[in-house]
Structure 1
Amino acid sequence: MLAEITGKGERLADNPLLARSIKNRFPYLDPLNHLQVELLKRHRSGDQNVRLRRGIHLTINGIAAGLRNTG
């Protein structure tokens, strides 16, 4: 749908520097995303541990920092 709206077949085709920068960040962000999912599952199941909540906040901040201008 995005390609149809923008008229471009590839995302960031007109900005290869940003595309490369984002691609290089993914290996660092993927583990944080997986960790965040697990921590959120535990929190939603009723675990109210303070360290768990701190871990969730750290993953949110880490992912936001890693995404920078793409978030």
Structure 2
Amino acid sequence: RHRFPYIDPLHHLQVELLRRHRAGQGGERLQRGIHIAINGIATALRNTG
């Protein structure tokens, strides 16, 4: 049984955004997306106990 299945999409998004950032495809929108993904994961984990 997977403990946090609703967080998986955020993890996949974060990985893809970080790949793009490391590949030099940075920009304001990309940085904002990374921050949103990180905050979403942190919020989800905080709300689970």
After TM superposition, the score normalised by the length of structure 2 is: 0.83
Runs of 4+ in 1 over 3 A off after TM superposition: none
User: Considering only aligned residues, what root-mean-square deviation do their CA atoms show, in Å?
Assistant: 1.6
Identify the structure with bigger relative contact order (alpha carbons < 8 Å, sequence gap 6+): 2
- The sequence identity of aligned pairs, in percent, is 70
Distance 1:32 1:61 in 2: 10
After TM superposition, the score normalised by the length of structure 1 is: 0.59
The alignment covers a number of residue pairs equal to 46
Where structure 1 has 5 or more consecutive residues not aligned to the other structure, the ranges are 1-22
Largest Rg, 1 or 2 = 1
Where structure 2 has 5 or more consecutive residues not aligned to the other structure, the ranges are none
